[in-house]
């Protein structure tokens, strides 16, 4: 017997997506596992997240074995083991991604998604994504679709799981870039303000900042007082430090001020504004108030670029295997999760939209804007 599952990647890309798809395909095609379960799986790669299912042309059929790239007008194609073999070392997503929202209130498209899953004769769908993609998966599940979710987001802000793919690679990028900035900062006795991603949470800024040895880390969970940073930087200079690195999360805001958005009017399909620019504003203010030379660097999409680090490759492997395992047992509407150091699965959390914030009391010193020196989970 042959069963068919689809796999898609949605939302912002990140390193870890391709390895997860590889391990979905590899586990699904494993001959020994197929013998144990009593059936074989065929995996259909969906192009560009939910958009692929919204726009899928029902007259076409995805099962074309010689098809190893999406052609014009293709929204789905068969994925075979020989093709995905090397995907574990590739960044981005070979399937493509989008922020298409099947439940967009202005233009609901979920019925088209369900119809496409039926037309493709999918027994189940593995959705790899963050809060938005997985919320849509949960809603489809509530309408009868068979979905399994794999968590990914460099923001690491998902409910139900301690880890989401892409985070560690992004932390590594922050550390590598700060290491580069440190040498030039030292040469010129400058302060660098480094803006990280992370949307409304400070997980990325905090982990990146502490690993990179930043003097101050500003996170969205705690509106900052610029004078605390000014005093800290002046003190460092008095103490003989030639330079300082300040990390600021894109979603951080000064006390009493609004969050900085890149284009005030632009929103994605899920209604999120594009954040960015707070680092530049902070740098200008710091330069004015300290009299020191300050430069701003926005790491932006560099944090989502490049190849996955070893940790993301390992986690993606575990998540991919677990997702197929769930699908093979017919355990749908579950989120593959990392909890307490093990890979497990939980019902898709109902509160995905309530992003998981930094535990400020345990991890963050609100007086000095540094990570607390306590023994806490990573
Ligand atoms: O959610 C991941 C993320 O990288 C956020 O950290 C960031 O705010 C957002 O996506 C950027 O989205 P886009 O790539 O659409 O500009």
Q: For the segment 78-123, what is each residue's pLDDT rounded down to a tens digit?
A: 999 999 999 999 999 999 999 999 999 999 999 999 999 999 999 9
Adjacent-strand bridge partners of 149: 127, 335
Secondary structure E strands in the chain:
2-9, 40-46, 76-79, 124-129, 147-151, 191-196, 216-218, 244-249, 294-298, 334-339, 342-347, 364-365, 370-371
User: If you measure from the C-alpha of residue 290 to the centroid of ligand 1, how many angstroms do you get, rounded to a whole number?
Assistant: 32
Asked if residue 152 has its Cβ within 6 Å of ligand 1, the reply is: no
Cα–Cα distance measured from residue 272 to residue 197, given in angstroms and rounded to the nearest whole number: 14
Mean pLDDT along residues 348-356: 94
User: If you measure from the C-alpha of residue 10 to the centroid of ligand 1, how many angstroms do you get, rounded to a whole number?
Assistant: 12
- How many CB atoms are located within 10 Å of the residue 209 CB? 30
Q: Is 232 helix (H, G, I), strand (E, B) or coil?
A: helix
Query: What pLDDT is attached to residue 230?
Result: 98
Asked if residue 165 has its Cβ within 6 Å of ligand 1, the reply is: no
Q: Is 54 helix (H, G, I), strand (E, B) or coil?
A: helix
Mean model confidence pLDDT for the chain: 94
Asked if residue 42 has its Cβ within 6 Å of ligand 1, the reply is: no
C-alpha distance from residue 152 to each of 9, 170, 287, 319, 378 (Å): 9, 12, 37, 10, 17
For the domain spanning 2-165+308-347, the CATH number is 3.40.50.450
The pairing of strands 216-218 and 191-196 is unpaired
3-state secondary structure string across 275-330: ECCHHHHHHHHHHHHHCCCEEEEECHHHHHCCCCCHHHHHHHHHHHHHHHHHHHCC
Percent of the chain that is helix, strand, coil (3-state, to 5): 35, 20, 45
Would you place residue 374 in the very low, low, confident or very high pLDDT band (cuts 50, 70, 90)?
A: confident
State the catalytic residue, choosing from 132, 155, 157, 312.
Answer: 155
Mean pLDDT along residues 297-311: 98
Q: 170-303+359-371: CATH homologous superfamily?
A: Phosphofructokinase domain (3.40.50.460)
Which of 201, 172, 164, 171 is CA-nearest to residue 9?
Answer: 164
User: If you measure from the C-alpha of residue 30 to the centroid of ligand 1, how many angstroms do you get, rounded to a whole number?
Assistant: 35
Query: What pLDDT is attached to residue 201?
Result: 98
Two domains, one topology: 2-165+308-347 and 170-303+359-371: yes
Q: Is the pLDDT assigned to residue 377 strictly greater than 80?
A: no
Mean pLDDT along residues 146-169: 98
The full set of domain ranges for the chain reads 2-165+308-347, 170-303+359-371
Q: Give the whole-number percent of the chain exceeding pLDDT 70.
A: 97
Phi, psi of 269 (to 5 degrees): -60, -20
Confidence (pTM):
0.96
C-alpha distance from residue 113 to each of 4, 59, 139, 335 (Å): 16, 15, 12, 20
Lowest-confidence region among 112-121, 130-139, 257-266: 257-266
Mean pLDDT along residues 145-174: 98
Mean pLDDT along residues 335-361: 96
Query: What pLDDT is attached to residue 67?
Result: 63
Asked if residue 130 has its Cβ within 6 Å of ligand 1, the reply is: yes
Mean pLDDT along residues 214-234: 98
Q: Is the pLDDT assigned to residue 44 strictly greater than 90?
A: yes
Q: Is 9 helix (H, G, I), strand (E, B) or coil?
A: strand
Query: What pLDDT is attached to residue 270?
Result: 84
Instruction: Specify the higher pLDDT residue, 49 or 65.
Output: 49
Contact assessment for residue 211 and residue 314, using Cβ atoms and an 8 Å cutoff = no
Asked if residue 13 has its Cβ within 6 Å of ligand 1, the reply is: no
- Atom 16 of ligand 1, residue of closest alpha carbon: 274
- How many CB atoms are located within 10 Å of the residue 127 CB? 28
Contact assessment for residue 203 and residue 378, using Cβ atoms and an 8 Å cutoff = no
User: If you measure from the C-alpha of residue 155 to the centroid of ligand 1, how many angstroms do you get, rounded to a whole number?
Assistant: 8
- Atom 13 of ligand 1, residue of closest alpha carbon: 12
Would you place residue 378 in the very low, low, confident or very high pLDDT band (cuts 50, 70, 90)?
A: low
- Active site (annotated) includes residue 155: yes
User: If you measure from the C-alpha of residue 291 to the centroid of ligand 1, how many angstroms do you get, rounded to a whole number?
Assistant: 33
Query: What pLDDT is attached to residue 234?
Result: 97
Mean pLDDT along residues 194-213: 97
Query: What pLDDT is attached to residue 179?
Result: 98
Query: What pLDDT is attached to residue 63?
Result: 59
Q: Is 193 helix (H, G, I), strand (E, B) or coil?
A: strand
Contact assessment for residue 23 and residue 315, using Cβ atoms and an 8 Å cutoff = no
Asked if residue 154 has its Cβ within 6 Å of ligand 1, the reply is: yes
Query: What pLDDT is attached to residue 71?
Result: 79
Query: What pLDDT is attached to residue 248?
Result: 98
């Amino acid at each position: 017997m042959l069963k068919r599952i689809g796999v898609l990647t949605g939302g912002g890309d990140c390193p870890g997506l391709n390895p997860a798809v590889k391990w979905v395909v590899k586990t699904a095609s494993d001959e020994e596992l197929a013998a144990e379960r009593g059936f074989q799986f065929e995996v259909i790669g969906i192009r560009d997240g939910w958009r692929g299912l919204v726009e899928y042309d029902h007259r076409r059929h995805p099962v074309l074995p010689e098809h190893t790239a999406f052609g014009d007008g293709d929204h789905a194609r068969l994925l075979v083991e020989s093709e995905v073999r090397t995907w574990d070392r590739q960044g981005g997503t070979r399937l493509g991604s989008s922020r298409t929202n099947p439940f967009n209130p202005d233009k609901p498209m979920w019925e088209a998604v369900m119809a496409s899953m039926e037309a493709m004769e999918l027994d189940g769908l593995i959705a790899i994504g963050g809060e938005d993609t997985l919320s849509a998966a949960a809603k489809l599940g509530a309408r009868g679709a068979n979905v399994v979710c794999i968590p990914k987001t460099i923001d690491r802000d998902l409910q139900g799981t301690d880890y989401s793919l892409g985070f560690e690679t992004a932390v590594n990028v922050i550390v590598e870039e700060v290491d580069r900035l440190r040498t030039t900062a030292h040469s010129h006795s400058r302060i660098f303000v480094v803006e990280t991603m992370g949307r409304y949470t400070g997980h990325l800024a905090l982990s990146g900042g502490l690993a990179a040895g930043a003097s101050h880390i500003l996170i969205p969970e705690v509106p900052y007082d610029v004078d605390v940073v000014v005093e800290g930087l002046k003190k460092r200079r008095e103490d003989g430090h030639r330079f300082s690195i300040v990390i600021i999360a894109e979603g951080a805001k000064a006390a009493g001020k609004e969050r900085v958005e890149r284009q005030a009017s632009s929103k994605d399909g899920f209604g999120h504004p594009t954040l960015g620019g707070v680092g530049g504003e902070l740098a200008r203010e710091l330069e004015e108030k300290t009299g020191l030379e300050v430069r701003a660097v926005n790491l932006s999409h560099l944090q989502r670029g490049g190849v996955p680090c070893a940790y993301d490759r390992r986690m993606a492997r575990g998540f991919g295997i677990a997702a197929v395992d769930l699908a093979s047992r017919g355990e749908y509407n579950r989120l593959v999760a990392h909890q307490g150091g093990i890979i497990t699965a939980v019902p898709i959390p109902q509160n995905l939209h309530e992003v998981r914030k930094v535990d400020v009391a345990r991890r963050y010193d609100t007086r000095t804007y540094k990570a607390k020196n306590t023994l806490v989970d990573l």
